[in-house]
Each structure stands twice: as structure tokens, then as C-alpha cells.
Structure 1
């Protein structure tokens, strides 16, 4: 099944020209595009690839000379990546989950599934679960007792939804994610070495044997609407209150959100981000890959943290930060420049020391 250039342009709200009834079945890079593909060349840098491929139609930048590029039709988009969002939605067939409940799924009689739900094989749905209309649940998913999931959820293979977790509408959960596992909470009967070091910033009176006592997680997880959780990411339940993820937030693969964490709306948490317990993340915060956030701190609205940044103290709203420990990005750039000069500076200091030493000997 394909789509005409006219249909695609209408869906994207974009202008098009040429043979608008031309049918394309998929998208491709310009060099690899065949006659049935829509070549993606939304920037003039990619025009050269069109001559090396066989595309008849392409998505181009505004004002491009599509006839001069040898095309029969073109769609013009001012913002390429935004157009990609719509185009990928058009061509993505989605997972193949048969309508209804697969005979090899196990659904508790007290659970409620909304109209049009599709439940794959080896899915287990616990007592009292409520799932809204249009849900698609792939194989080997487990949803524990009392969980509530809104309309049009897509929960992919092997995901785990814990007890009493509450999730809004249009939720997307990638394979292997775990939402609602217990938080990592332990305490020692006596003051632990960690507590002592926090108070003294490194000094220890003595090293004592210590054992850990488990603090159970009595809260759960609450997730808003239009949230996506990536593969093998984990969101731990709260100790007393719920761990919270706000509307529109997108979480990449291999992200850890600790117990009691509060994440705001429309945040972007990239791969391998780790947020320690009880920290609060504001709205529209972007944490690059491998960013770490210490426990019990606040990251303000609209903060952007570059990759591998370690946030150890509160970050003011709107700040762009980088490095370990996190500082303003422009400060970190100056630090890196200074570090690159250190070998040359050390050599200069060594020469000065030799000169001073010789002067002292001659005196």
C-alpha cells in the first residue's frame, strides 16, 4: 500500500508540485531511493544524492528546483525534522497485534479493558486493572493489580507495569521498560558511613561494620498524558508519595528515574540519564545523554544540560549547563580551554623554575 504525493502533502500541511497522483510506498535517503520511494532531501546538501539515486519524487527545501533535479514531483517543507515526524507517522505500520484478547493471554476477571483493546499472547493483566479504549498491548507484557492506563496506549513487548501505577492517555512504552518497581531505599540501624561523610565532607572517625535495612515503597508511579518511556528504562515507585512524570515528557532508553522523583511537563530525558531519589525536575527540561542528577535537589524550568553533565546542586531556571560538576556552559568551555593549555603551562613553569634555580646558584 502506498500514498500519493497529494495525500502526503495534505497530511503534512505542505505545498507540493508536479505529478501529485504519483504513488510512493516508503521513504528513503536520496542515494538509495528507487522509483517507488519518496527521497528525503530537505536540505540543499543532499541534492547531489538525488542524481545518484532513482527517485521520482522527493521532499525538498522551499524554493528547490525540483525539475532541475530530475524529479516528477516534490513536497516542500520549511522545517525538515518536523516534517519527518509527520511522514514517519504516515509510513509506520505499527506493531501487528490482533484485535481482541489473544487466547494465550491471562486477564483477571475483575480487570476492565476498553473498547477496541488488542492484547497479545502471554500478556498478564492483574486484578482490578483498568485500561482505556484503543489500547494495544504486545506479547509478554505484565500489568499488575490496580494499575490504571488511559486511552490509546501502546505497550510493547516485555514491558512491566507495577501495582497501582496510574498512566494517562496516549502512553507509549517501549520493550523491556519497568514502571513501578520498588525504590532503592535502605537505612542502617546506626549512622552509616555515607551519612557521616555527607556531614564531614570526607572525614571518618572510624570504619564500622554496617548492615542495611530495607525501606519498603508504599507509593506508586503517576504518569501524565502523551508520555513515552524508552526500552529498558525504569521508573521506581515512591516511598510514601508517588513518583510523578508530567504530561508530554519523553524518556529515552536506559533511563533511571528514582523513587519520589517529580519530573515536570514536556521534558526530554536522553539515554542513560539517572535521576536520584526525591529530586524535582521542572518543566521543559532537557537532560542530554548520561546526565546524572543527585538526590534531593531541584532542576528549574527550561534547564538544558549537555551530555555527561553531573548536576550536584540546584540548577536555576533557564540555565544551560555542562560538565562535572555542572556549571554554566560558557564557563565549562573556558575550563576545557584552560585544561588543554595545562601541558604547555607546566612546561613553561618548569623552564622558569630552572631559570630561577640557576640565578640562585650564581648569586
Structure 2
């Protein structure tokens, strides 16, 4: 009897022990597996290498090169990976810099910033078909020229420029406004065309003085052209010229300080905020009327995010339009001003003009207005849409 009771007790203890072992063992295995997966994931992310080659404007152009860099740095902070940027100050740098950045087992994505790098990118991408690339501001005209390992990131610059053209025409007192482009090309022509069309939507008789710097970095040339345009009667000048625009701002400041009412319009970023002095304070808050925002930072961030998630889409042309909030006007023009600069930065565009801009923006998004992409078409632009 005692023997049977002892056997029963031992059996019970064994069952209970096995149950506890089972309960304790499974979570431990899951935890270990989760930890291993996390470690594997972290290793995978840390092994990722992202590269960027600027065009002649460089990383501190306060414009689209800087915006591209900002988008990648945002992703770097969020996901953690190795990032390297090279400044290509001349055309001869394009191919070797792209080759340097795309070399190595863990080189996952290399950015070429600007349409001027299109040929160099095609050359390098064709010779390194196991690597991923992306280019800002360019897409092939022919489908057969689209490379499977390249993502093309382009923007409807003409749509955003239309809106600042509306602002310029409504604000101008002289009936004459100016435009300074970097280098003549179909891309910069879109900025010019949209600006002219937007201005003509408000005033069909407005005059637009158009000049090109043949550079995206020569601020002295920007200063010289701006002085000439203001001297010809313009009271507002919009630039699409990268670092050249810094010369425009300098000239505008000098003329405004002399007592004349003139304004500059920035590009790519909210340049009221991004063009700063040595103390990181806005330098030209009193002379930059608005800026045409181009979300290059969003484009580069999203391309990197796709790589991190293993979803990069090579061979794709992605267009960032007004409808997608890929382009638009500066947030500060809508009164969205950071607290730390409210003592310096003001809303330079009146609320009445912003209301008008919103109506034109909605019309473009709804397809009621088709903004021309070529200057020759913009000069003949008319619209039946009435916002006033």
C-alpha cells in the first residue's frame, strides 16, 4: 500500500515538474528567438550603406542639395546606418564619386542629386547592376532608357512655381517681376513657366524679366543679375538657381535697406528659415516674401526607408506633385513660424493673398488648371478659372 502511494506521489511530482518546465521553457525560447531576430535586424540595418553625391551647389547650398541631405539624415537617425556624402563641385567629379559611393559589399543605395548628373549616373548604374541608385530631378523621356536599378525622383516644379507667381503678381506694385534661373534646361524652364503662368493668371499684362546665371553656385552672379532686374523696374524676383540665390538675397537686402520696397522669393526650402547667420539666426526674414517648397527631403527619406524595409523599387519614376504635397509654398507664409524665431520671422504674405493662393492650389489639384511646363507656352497662358 505504502509502495503504491509512494509511486503515485512520485508520478504526481514528475507531472508537475514537467508542467513547470514546459511553462518556463517555451517563453524562454520565444524570448531568445525574439532577441536573436532583433540582433539580426540591428545587424542588417547597421550594415546598410547609403551614399550621396551633390552637384556643383554642394551640401550647404541652402537649397535642394541640402534638402536631400536632410532627408537622408532624418532616416539615418531613425533607422541607423552608415551614410557618406561627397560634394561634386565640378562635372569631372560625378562619375568617380558615384563609383566610390557605390563600391563595396554593403553599398545599398547611392543618390545622384540634380539633373546634371544624369549621364554619369547612367554610366555607373549600367556597370553596377547589382547596386541600387536614385536620382533627384531627372527621369528619362523614353521608357527603354529607364534602368531597373535606378529610382527616378522628380517634382512638378511648375505647379509650385505657379503659386509663387500668384503671390508675386498680387504683391507687386510696379507690374514688373523678375526670375533668375541657374542653367537653362527643361527642368529650370518648368520653374520659369509656372511662375510666369501664375503671374499671368492674376495680371495678363504683367511683365517678367528673365535672366540666367549659367551656374548653381555663383552667388556673385546672382547679386549682379538681381541688381540689374531691380534696376529695370522689377520689385519682386524669384530664383531657381541654388546657391546663386544667396546673391539675390544680398542684393534685395541692400536695396530694401536703401528705402525701396522690394522682395525676393526663395526656392526648394523655406529659405526664410534656412538661410542663417553664424548664430543660426534667419538673415533675410525681412526680404524673402515666400519660397517655393520642394520636398526633396521627403523623397530621399522615403527612398532610404524602402531600402531599410527591403522594398526598394528600381526602375520606377516617382513624381511629387502639388496634389501629393511634393511642392507648395513656404509654411511661414501661412503663419507657421517656429517659436524660437517668432521675434525675427513674420508672415510676409497677407492672409487675403493666401486665401487666393489656396483657391488656385485647389483648382490645380482638381485639374481645373493645367500649368504649362515650357516658358513659350506660359507666355501665352490664359485661364477661365476665376478665384477673385
Q: Give the TM-score normalised by structure 1.
A: 0.22
Task: Identify, as 1 or 2, the structure richer in strand.
Answer: 1
Q: Give the TM-score normalised by structure 2.
A: 0.21
